[in-house]
A and B are shown apart, each in its own frame.
Chain A
Amino acid sequence: MKVLAVDDSRTIRDMLRLTLSGAGIEIYLAEDGQHGLEVLEGIAPDAIISDINMPRLDGFGFISAVREQDRHRATPILVLTTESAPELKARARAAGATGWIVKPFDPDKLVRALNMVAG
């Protein structure tokens, strides 16, 4: 499985890399939404993980921009958020997110969630 993960925190990126590569998932990383779109141009991930609060282009903007691309209309996108507030989930949903993971994430659950949306 190939996953693109977008988060502006190096720590979170490191942890995602550790978790996902440990689960045998090929991971591509980007530092913000804008960067994420650039990285996305060169790869065809099976799923995308994105943070919400990011410079340049936030998670909502990123997800909308991804969904606008025909080839990613149905690519599963998981939102990583520190908030579990329902309105945040609703916003992520409205932007086109497939699911969400509450930070700090439990590595097993993240992998399980990826399997749930991307097989």
Chain B
Amino acid sequence: MSDPMAEIKASFFVECEELLESLQDALNLMDEGAHDDETINIVFRAVHSIKGGAGAFGLDALVAFAHRFETVMDEVRSGRLAVTPEAQRQFFHTADLLADEVHAARDGLPEPEAAEECLTELETLLGVPPGGGAEEEEVDDFVPMGLSFDLDLPDVDAAETNGPIEIRFSPHASLYAAGNDPYHLLGALTELGALDVSVDLSAIPTLDALDAEAALLHWTLRLEGETDEAEIREIFEFVEDLCTLEIAHPDVMDPPDLGELPAVESDPLLAPTPPPPPEPARTEAPPPEPAGSETKEKSTPAAPAAPAAAPAAEPVATVRVDLERIDRLVNLVGELVINQAMLSQSVSEAGLPPNSPVMTGLEAFMMLTRDIQDSVMMIRAQPVKPLFQRMARIVREASSAIGKDVKLRCEGEATEVDKTVIERLADPLTHMIRNAVDHGLEMPDARTAAGKPAAGVITLSAQHRSGRVVIEVSDDGGGINREKVLARAVERGLVPAEATLSDSEIDNLLFLPGFSTADQVSALSGRGVGMDVVRSAIQSLGGRISISSEIGVGTCFSVSLPLTLAVLDGMVVKVADETLVVPLSSIQETATLAADDIRPLGPETHVIQLRGAFVPLYDLGSELGYRSPQPSYEGGIVLLTAQETGERSALLVDSIIEQRQVVIKGLQRSYAQIPGVAAATILGDGQIALILDPADLVQTATGRTRPPQISLAG
């Protein structure tokens, strides 16, 4: 990415995301009834800026789309188009498609198919016949054009004649007032060819009568050589309405009519170079000003006629940093944490008294390290807002597809979560939202019948709770129909027919693979992706998902996630003299095995009995190849882990050492994917410990917990 234009282009797409976000925000405000100028202006500006940037990179499809959207928003801004609910719906839809257009442009994909239809629909708001020629013209009108006189080449033939061109140039006072300087204009002309300059000073009165701001100079210029009249026009483009300008080809046309101007006096002193004009507006010494003007200026330096309504939130100053640099920092801080742990371990082993300066200093060091770690993690953190905005779109699309009226309420949008967590949360969250629209909320008539407002409400919230982030998707629908769920589960053979299950056990059946309650598979859900997939996606992020529901009141899915993927709460255990880390999130409980808890099952495996249920026993030592199955597991310690399928397993370890935060060190770059092993970490004593992935481990485990019948070792 050394090409600066490529970098700017990449940064343009980042900016587009921000603009799309503020566009959504402003549209939401409008939807809530805010039709003030500033809100509408934000919408307009967001679209406008996308168009402006897109033009710079020749993204014509995006330019054209944004232009047509902008045209409609301009009508709103000027008050010619009222914001009806239908219009509001169209705005949301167009904004969604604008996002698609941006992404298509970014990824080099074809334009979204629905674009034309969407714009045509949007434009019917204006009362323009759909697909009419008017828009086309406007689009053409925008086509990036240079300074307008480039296109205006009426006298090409004449212009290309070899003769000199005579220019008569008489600035008006307004030319100076607008900040133009004839000196620079003449300077630009000299670049076109040899310039013969003569200036008429006859209008200048004596000094006592001089009005410093009057336009008193007239030039006659003779430009030699081969010059295009358009080039000359271009130089005068900014001032064409601020001066009297005549361009003539004396050799071709009639002799110039000198009668019109005062007699031109050629001043030999001024002729060779363009004269520095006595330019009143730029005089160095402040000219005598009318009294009072100075005080007026002093009082208004920073009090412009700004729109009264200020934007709701002031933008926070930010720095854009390459993600790789942050990850490097995160890694380094991880090393620092490990180093610090090693240091404190060796200090305590040295037997120093607890209140010695070394120990107190080390403690302060430890706290600083923690703070640094937290702060570094926060750099990777991002607000969930863009994610929530994507969900707003899902709600709009899903609800309109099945004719439900659904409002999405978002809470805690500013809550920050690790960037990777946010990225990987998008899919499961999308599915949960679709489910809520599709299954959670009742049809409007059913809602009305139940005495609820016809429009359903889905609430999406995020908050920090005890070192984790909790994201909840709740609806005010009919709640889980437990009879139906249970019946379905029995029908699918997921639970025995005579089983008695508690309400929450029934609710949790939704997470079983292959479960679907919708009688009719709608276009939305029922795509073969069930809540089981949602749950495994959440779990792979170190998260947990739970469900609560009340009949007639609604359902709430609650997802609890770690703030970062860089550190992990783990249980450090010993197996066959090896130290291992098991993620705490996967452990339900730990237990010490009594003799009658262990039951043999088949020739090689055991199950353990735990409160009336049987759980398969896995000896971590033998599963990982550290040792052969043990003759007896009595008195052994097991970690009870639960998988997404609800299946539980007991992992046997020799001892539990401690529960602590560990820094995750990926192994995949060096060793590819190892079954059962998620990553590694470095412990305080410098030892490397593998971090296990119990769910994965159990899938490939043999379950062998009894010595082989025929000893291969012997």
Contacts and interface: CB of A to CB of B under 8 A. Distances in A.
B135 interface: no
A43 interface: no
Interface string A62-95: 1011001110011111000011110000000100
Contact of A55 (B142, B144, B238, B311): B311
B286 interface: yes
B12 A11 contact: yes
Given A56-B306, A84-B141, A117-B181, A10 B238 contact: no
B21 interface: no
A112 B188 CA distance: 9
Interface in B237-273: 237-238, 241
Nearest to A119: B184
B52 A12 contact: yes
Interface in B311-337: 311
Contact of A119 (B51, B142, B148, B181): B181
A6 to B, nearest CB: 12
A93 to B, nearest CB: 7
Given A54-B45, A55-B45, A117 B238 contact: yes
A74 B176 CA distance: 7
Nearest to B66: A82
B176 to A, nearest CB: 7
B227 interface: no
Interface stretch (B3-11, B197-205, B572-580): B3-11
A30 interface: no
A57 to B, nearest CB: 5
A117 B142 CA distance: 25
Interface stretch (B295-303, B424-432, B557-565): B295-303
B217 interface: no
B5 A18 contact: yes
Contacts of A73: 177, 179, 281-282
Contacts of B279: 74
Nearest to A78: B238
A8 B15 CA distance: 11
Nearest to A33: B304
Contact of B304 (A34, A55, A104, A115): A34
B130 interface: no
B48 A82 contact: yes
Contacts of A93: 178, 241
Given A73-B281, A102-B146, A109-B147, A53 B4 contact: no
Nearest to A94: B178
Nearest to B53: A11
Given A11-B53, A57-B306, A102 B183 contact: no
How many residues of A sit at the interface, in one of the four size bands? 35 or more
Contacts of B147: 101-102, 109, 113
Contacts of A26: none
A82 B142 contact: yes
Interface in B120-169: 141-142, 144-148
A74 B179 contact: yes
Contacts of A97: 178-179
A83 B307 CA distance: 22
> Which of B12, B145, B297, B304 has the most CB atoms of chain A within a 10 A radius of its CB?
B304
A25 interface: no
A60 to B, nearest CB: 9
Contacts of A99: 180, 237-238
B237 A53 contact: no
Given A14-B8, A99-B238, A116 B184 contact: yes
B235 interface: yes
B703 to A, nearest CB: 58
B56 A96 contact: no
A82 B51 contact: yes
A44 interface: no
Contact of A96 (B5, B148, B179): B179
A76 B179 contact: yes
B145 A102 contact: yes
A104 B52 contact: yes
* The 6 A-B residue pairs with the shortest CB-CB distance in the complex, in nearest-first order: A99-B238, A74-B281, A11-B53, A98-B179, A104-B56, A11-B12
20 contacts: A8-B49, A11-B8, A11-B15, A11-B52, A14-B11, A34-B302, A41-B301, A56-B306, A56-B311, A65-B301, A73-B179, A73-B281, A98-B238, A99-B237, A100-B238, A104-B55, A104-B57, A112-B188, A117-B179, A119-B183
Interface of A: 8-12, 14-15, 18, 33-34, 37-38, 41, 53-57, 61-62, 64-65, 68-70, 73-77, 82-85, 93, 96-106, 109, 112-113, 115-119
